Chains A and B, each alone.
Chain A
Amino acid sequence: MIKVKNISKAYNKAEALKNISLEVKKGELFGLIGPDGAGKTTLMRILMTLLIQDEGKAEMSGFDVVRDYKKIRRLVGYMPGRFSLYQDLTVEENLEFFATVFGTSIAENYELIKDIYVQIEPFKNRLAGKLSGGMKQKLALSCALIHKPEILVLDEPTTGVDAVSRKEFWDMLKKLQNQGITILVSTPYMDEAGLCDRVALMQKGEILRIDSPARIVENYPRKLLAARSEEMYRLINDLRAWKKVETAYAFGQFAHVTPVDDAMEAVELEHYLMSKKHQKLQVFETNPGIEDVFMGLMSEYRE
């Protein structure tokens, strides 16, 4: 459904995308995961025909993003990174406007947006600018869906949205996926990666890995240990100071530690930390999450 081949894009001299290739299958929920500045928005804008790549080719539903941009614009729904609806129009007026622009009506495609729209319908006469963050996102999604797109492109839809609304939003995406819509979504939140069918981990304009979240975690070759004590800050500093530790960073209530030698046991680490007089120690081997993988890949990439 979406094909990206060797795409490069630079703004002046800053390279935003370096030789990126990926493919999204029909009906897939595909995630672009990466920190700010990874190139997610640039890639999406190229796919949305808003920017022209310097090199490479990209296709949406078989149409070339440069040559057939008009056709693509009809069959893709797009939700940009920042709230891009008319704040001085009401919820209903916004929806109506986008319906007319795409040559359809709310009634015609009500079925598709029903689940989302019923939640904001009680506020349909409220100005869009006066909605809460979560509601704005729901309205924006409704507007992006109003013309029944084949492909939905969402640029960081959950940034700045509370945890409950974020979960609701992802539930909605799942439902849309079940209706056969191909979805490309970007997010800086690692925990959302697990909700996608497949993800591309991006960093500084490059793709580090493309796979299903489970496989990415499975194929992580390194050992991971978790540790905690009463003094977490000193603990992390001590860990980083030890030459047998490659990386150590805070992860929730624990410190996740990647040893230089994968054969290291939890006991060895515990002994070291005891020698540093840490109280109430807990040290054990743990399974890596996608965030660990990403951190590992990022540090590998830096070297």
Chain B
Amino acid sequence: MSRFWGFVKKEFLHIFRDVRTMIILFGIPVAQLLLFGTVITNEIKDAHIAIYDQSKDEVTREITAKLLSSSYFVLDQYLESTEDVEAIFKKGQVKEVLIFESNFAQTLEREGKANIQVIADASDPNMGKLLAGYTSGIINDYMLKEMGELKLPMQIKPEVRMYYNESLQSVHLFVPGIMAMILMLISAMMTSISITREKELGTMEILLVSPLRPVQIILGKVAPYLALSVINAVIILLIGHFAFGVPIHGSWILLMGESILFILMALCLGILISSIANSQMVAMFISMIGLMLPTILLSGFIFPIENMPMPLQVLSNLMPPRWFIVILKNIMLKGTGLLYVWKETLILLAMAVVFTAIAVRKFKVRLE
């Protein structure tokens, strides 16, 4: 058995013997994926609304029925007066109130228009906007279908289609984002911790005086985590595909190839961290604060890069997950090939090479 494989075998033994490492490696990614996939969502589902119907005629009843059958809204209660509106918002359960004016159907018939007041709870502004948007969408839809053609002499009707994610499911966006985040975090954190642990326990002293070369030590540390992270990537993709219905239109081989590239880059980043940090605590801290937060905030995973102020947009270019997420979305949702993501791939490759070079150079062959 060569030196290198002996080292790799030892690393695997460390990993498999430590329950905590195993949990971090495999338990946390799955838990995170399930959490992010189900909890964090931009969609509306079963939002509680209240209705103050002053008219109670055929049309208002039809509109109400249409709203409630959309699965976006649940009727909390009917209100009896405008005073109730304030009170019911304060209770917190109801997010939107609809008020139909009196003689709704009659007015509509006579004058060709009638008023519905939509009051949304904007203490969560995005939610309020979404609710109002969905409500007016449904009402417009109803109007067009029921009476549009009769009343209006001329109209432009935009036909909207949401390509690559027709039903606007946010999980399609989150799975690539979470995959980038988890692979980044696990790979970088685990390698940096496993190297600093050797420093802390004094075993590094023995490794240094052995004939192992720095490259062998670094690759020996990287190899097991590369293998395990690839398994991780597959698990994430499978859960995303089968549990959340995220499509994978592009080639699996390309997807895995890009993932391996990204994992390698993250592993080298981990080694780089370990050359700065002297204890497991510091290594973990740097990985968490230095990698996880920027990954979540600046990679376009949750907040669109286009909306960021200029300096942050420039900064986001330095975030490896940013490019990986673009690649993932392209391959998974659009089904594009390497031809469309070669630029991002090159950027990741360059980052991997730079990190490896620095890691090998910065590796100390002595104690100081």
User: Which residues in window 351-366 of B have CB below 8 A to A?
Assistant: 365-366
Is A122 interfacial (CB-CB < 8 Å)?
A: no
A84-B201, A86-B14 known; A51 and B3 CB under 8 Å?
A: no
User: Which residues in window 191-241 of B have CB below 8 A to A?
Assistant: 201-203, 205-212
Neighbouring B residues of A82 by C-beta, 8 Å? 202
Is A83 interfacial (CB-CB < 8 Å)?
A: yes
Asked if B13 and A89 make an inter-chain contact with CB atoms under 8 angstroms apart, the answer reads: yes
Asked if A50 and B13 make an inter-chain contact with CB atoms under 8 angstroms apart, the answer reads: no
A51-B367, A84-B201, A100-B6 known; A73 and B13 CB under 8 Å?
A: no
A50-B208, A97-B10 known, 8 other contacts, Cβ within 8 Å: A45-B367, A51-B367, A51-B368, A52-B366, A74-B211, A84-B203, A88-B13, A97-B6
A52-B366, A93-B10, A93-B13 known; A98 and B202 CB under 8 Å?
A: no
Report the 8 A-B pairs with minimum CB-CB distance, sorted nearest first. Answer: A100-B6, A84-B202, A50-B367, A101-B210, A88-B17, A78-B209, A80-B205, A97-B10
Is B109 interfacial (CB-CB < 8 Å)?
A: no
Q: Which residue of B lies closest to A83 (CB)?
A: B202
Neighbouring B residues of A69 by C-beta, 8 Å? 365-366
Asked if B1 and A48 make an inter-chain contact with CB atoms under 8 angstroms apart, the answer reads: no
CA distance A69 to B366 in the complex (A): 10
Asked if A70 and B10 make an inter-chain contact with CB atoms under 8 angstroms apart, the answer reads: no
Neighbouring A residues of B17 by C-beta, 8 Å? 88-89
Number of B residues, CB within 8 Å of A: 27
Contact partner of B209 (CB less than 8 A), chosen from A76, A88, A89, is A76
User: Could you list 9 A-B pairs, sorted by A, with CB under 8 Å?
Assistant: A51-B366, A74-B211, A82-B202, A84-B206, A86-B201, A88-B14, A93-B10, A93-B13, A97-B6
A140 to chain B: closest CB distance in Å? 9
CA distance A69 to B9 in the complex (A): 27
CA distance A12 to B248 in the complex (A): 58
Asked if B202 and A52 make an inter-chain contact with CB atoms under 8 angstroms apart, the answer reads: no
Neighbouring B residues of A52 by C-beta, 8 Å? 366, 368
Contact partner of B210 (CB less than 8 A), chosen from A51, A73, A80, A96, is A73
CA distance A103 to B213 in the complex (A): 13
Neighbouring A residues of B14 by C-beta, 8 Å? 86, 88-89
Q: Which residue of B lies closest to A88 (CB)?
A: B17
Is A49 interfacial (CB-CB < 8 Å)?
A: yes
Neighbouring A residues of B209 by C-beta, 8 Å? 48-50, 73, 76, 78
CA distance A127 to B73 in the complex (A): 60
Q: Which residue of B lies closest to A72 (CB)?
A: B209
Neighbouring B residues of A85 by C-beta, 8 Å? 203, 206
Q: Which residue of A lies closest to B220 (CB)?
A: A101
CA distance A88 to B13 in the complex (A): 8
CA distance A290 to B333 in the complex (A): 81
A266 to chain B: closest CB distance in Å? 50
Neighbouring B residues of A87 by C-beta, 8 Å? 201
CA distance A50 to B199 in the complex (A): 13
Contact partner of A101 (CB less than 8 A), chosen from B211, B365, B366, is B211
A103 to chain B: closest CB distance in Å? 6
Is A242 interfacial (CB-CB < 8 Å)?
A: no
Is B7 interfacial (CB-CB < 8 Å)?
A: yes
Neighbouring A residues of B203 by C-beta, 8 Å? 84-86
Neighbouring A residues of B86 by C-beta, 8 Å? none
Is A102 interfacial (CB-CB < 8 Å)?
A: yes
Is B83 interfacial (CB-CB < 8 Å)?
A: no
